[in-house]
Structure 1
Amino acid sequence: MSSSFLLGAFIVYAVALLVFVVAITGKSSVMVTDPVAYGKRWGNIGLVLTIIGFISQLTYFFKRWAEAGHIPTSNMFEFMTFLGMMIVLAFIIVFLLYRTAVLGVFALPVAIIVIAYASVFPREVQPLIPALQSYWLKIHVTTAAFGEAFFAVGFAAGLMYLIQSVNFKGTSKGDRKEQRGVEFTIFTLVMILAFVIAIFSFNAAGYHARFANDVMVTGKDNVEQVVKQNVDYVLPPIVKPYQGEQVEMKPFLGMTEPPFEAPSWMKGANAGRKFNTVIWSVFCGAVLYGLLRLIARKPLGATLQPLLSGMDPDDVDEIGYRAIAIGYPIFTLGALVFAMIWAAEAWGRFWGWDPKEVWALIVWLFYAAYLHLRLSRGWQGKKSAWLSVIGFLVVMFTLIGVNLVIAGLHSYSGA
């Protein structure tokens, strides 16, 4: 029942995105006599649909909370769906402040991609491990995610500014560098989307492969013993685990065994499978990006540029700055202050240089530098936009890369 509300929210968000696109593109129609009123009317419809979707996802959130008996933010599926919901909430708040319909064309896709990405992880309700059985789970995770949600809106505004201001017809060294930067950012979003599509496609086809590794575990009385650990692949294994034994593998394009083995220096749980996932993500992202480029016949940034022709660049710049200015103190409380208090209660220390702690600090320092450079050095316009885009890419690495690739105390279950 709760999953139906999440699916309903996802569909409504997608419809709201289309409405925001209509609000922007329809203003240039010769049949529209009052473009301002037209954009405002369709923008309000998009807002109403977004709020309906948010209410549906909020209903899902509380229903799953009731089913699980604890706040549903304890694994990758739950946290990423919650982050998507917070991005939508942050977008609603910023939209009500500025009434800019085009923001929906860039902010909603980020939330949609995050929710879609969450769906590739196991959805089963899982009991909390002892370290997470604390009221600080509610306080720390929710506030950290809410702060990151405003960073996502700042990212959307920054990308809007860059797409609007970059000279895609320029041939100078500076123009080409900016064009590549915008295209790389768009490629990153396309890559995540392609990864989701690939996972669903191979799941629908029933693809499966399994390998076994010898791992050392500590049993009763602190006695170490070697046991077999199974590693399951959903994507065809181009790279098998280091010294992994093939248990079963469904043939793929004539391939009956992996052509490569993960290098020995790759440590951590399921390192080979995760490396295989990275390879597939880049490959599928390159294919999807290439298809989109083939259809558009020009850079995707240049394709999107006409959507922003009527926007005041100063307004877009202000939206990005305000979103980050709102999110920064919230993130500071959630990801640092509350996190350190909880760490002291759970592990007896405020700071332990765990990978997630280090990257949370990097995010905090990056946005501190952003605000300092903007307020003290006058970094506005393109400089500010580039920082907001790079900052959120660092956030996404903290959420995805650290959880999936780097082992640590903060690694989510189901990753």
Structure 2
Amino acid sequence: MNIAAATNQNLADISNVLIYSAMAVYALAFFAHVGEWVFGSRSRVATTSAALTPGQAAGADAPAVTVTVKQRGGGTAVLERPKVVTRTPGGGREVPDGPGAAGGDEQGDVYGRVAVSLTVLAFVLHAGGVLTRALSVERAPWGNMYEFSTTFSMVAVASYLGFLVAGKNVRWMGLPLITTVLLDLGLAVSVLYTDSDQLVPALDSYWLWIHVSLAIACGALFYLGAVATVLYLFRDRYEAKLADPSGPQPGSFAHSVLARLPAASSLDKFAYRVNAAVFPFWTFTIVAGAIWAESAWGRYWGWDPKEVWSFITWVAYACYLHARATAGWKGRKAAYLAIAAFLCFLFNYYGVNIFVDGLHSYSGT
């Protein structure tokens, strides 16, 4: 136990400097991502529009894919077949991922490389700020809302970079991720900031490392799933407009941006897989919190506001996964459920801690 340990103010000050430095580099990464989306790969944006042309879906006037085949005895034969757009068993459009660096087929885009490099540098500074904050008080760096927020955004960026290292092309997530990370850190340093200090007795437990770290990790991954879901809604509407030439068509700006996203089906699948993978860990987070509550307060469950909204979040994600698995809800209906579930998590994260009095009020600002 470290209740009596002194605070190392020098390390606390270094932590603050590192967090502000990370924000500055994240801002540069933000502008680099904007450059990637605005200037990168404009010459290939029409690929998605062509792929969604109804005539091509029927195989009518689709551009040919040329295949050269070697024949016995020498010589070659040229075979051509139309490029078609297939449909999923549920009737959805099965289209290729969008072109450009954000879509996955322009690996050499200079803006994207710069953006990712700056994100890595900012993450290193960010992680250093979280680590030195922990060292300044010799405890887990999530004892209040400021520390929770800085760690939360750090884990979100780490998850994003982890997908990139694993070979997953998720650069399309870079711009919304960095934007929200800057907003989160700005709120943390301006509204939620708390001086580095020791824990209140109720938090001084090894369960802090288990329960709260799991909550942070689950929330960061739920956030990535929510980003994919929101982008799916935009991309799906964009594809629907292109598939219906008699209706209103996307504007030039919307076309140049949304064409670089992965296909709507890819975004929907990514969001579902992330949420499904995280849900068991969120379940264990609630169970771990109940065990800690029994140790700290003598009861497993007391309908404290934090407990209630954690359970509501669990129910919301359970409904989303159940609807996908049994009722066959895919697409926009499932997306609305997923967004509602993440909004429940956000209210549990901000609203309950800041605006609602309860046993968890000590972790507020």
The answer on 1:24 being equivalent to 2:41 is no
Aligned-pair CA distance for 1:325: 2.1
| Cα deviation code 1:109-150 (max 9, x no counterpart) | 222222221121233112211111111111111111100111
Do structure 1's residue 101 and structure 2's residue 114 form an aligned pair? no
Deviation of the 1:409 alpha carbon: 0.4
Q: Does 1:165 align with 2:247?
A: no
The number of residue pairs the alignment matches comes to 283
Residue 8 of structure 1 and its aligned partner are, at CA, apart by: 1.7
Output the amino acid matched with 2:154: M
Cα deviation per residue 1:199-218 (whole Å; 9 max; x = unaligned)? xxxxxxxxxxxxxxxxxxxx
Q: 16, 32, 39: which is aligned to 1:3?
A: 16
Indicate how the Cα distance of structure 1 residues 321 and 44 shifts in structure 2: closer, same or farther if over 3 A, else same.
Answer: farther
Residue in 2 that maps onto 1:392: 342
The alignment partner of 1:380 has SS state of coil
Aligned mates of 1:91, 1:360 — CA distance in 2? 24
Contact 1:157 1:319 in 2 (8 A): yes
- Residue of structure 1 in register with 2:94 after alignment: none
Q: How far apart, in 2, do the equivalents of 1:87 and 1:324 lie?
A: 14
- Alpha-carbon separation, structure 1, partners of 2:210 and 2:333: 34
Match of 2:137 among 60, 68, 76: 68
Pick closer, same or farther for the CA change 1:72–1:37 going to 2, 3 Å: same
CA RMSD of aligned residues (A): 2.7
Q: Once the two structures are superposed, what CA deviation does each residue of 1:1-58 show, in whole Å capped at 9, x if it has no partner?
A: 11111112222222223223322332344599x9533565543443332222222111
| Separation in 2, partners of 1:333, 1:148 | 13
Distance 2:25 2:278 in 1: 25
Answer yes or no: is the 8 Å Cα contact 1:110–1:152 preserved in 2. Answer: no
Any stretches of 5+ residues in structure 1 without a counterpart? 171-300
User: Aligned pair in 2 of structure 1 residues 112, 326: CA closer, same or farther (>3 Å)?
Assistant: farther
Match of 1:370 among 310, 320, 324: 320
Contact 2:316 2:340 in 1 (8 A): no
Partner residue in 2 for 1:317: 268
Q: How does 1:12-411 map to 2 (within 5 A)?
A: 12-29=25-42, 35=100, 36-37=105-106, 42-95=111-164, 96-119=166-189, 120-166=191-237, 306-311=256-261, 312-334=263-285, 336-411=286-361
Change (3 A) 1:41 1:117: same
Quickly say closer, same or farther: Cα 1:76–1:405, change in 2 above 3 A: same
Q: 1:410: how far off?
A: 0.9
Deviations 1:149-172 (A, max 9, x none): 1111111111111122337999xx
Q: Which amino acid aligns with 2:225?
A: G
TM-aligned CA deviation for residue 384 of structure 1:
2.3
Percent identity for Structure 1 against Structure 2:
34
Indicate conservation of the 8 Å contact 1:144/1:333, yes or no: no
Q: Which moved more, 1:377-386 or 1:89-98?
A: 89-98
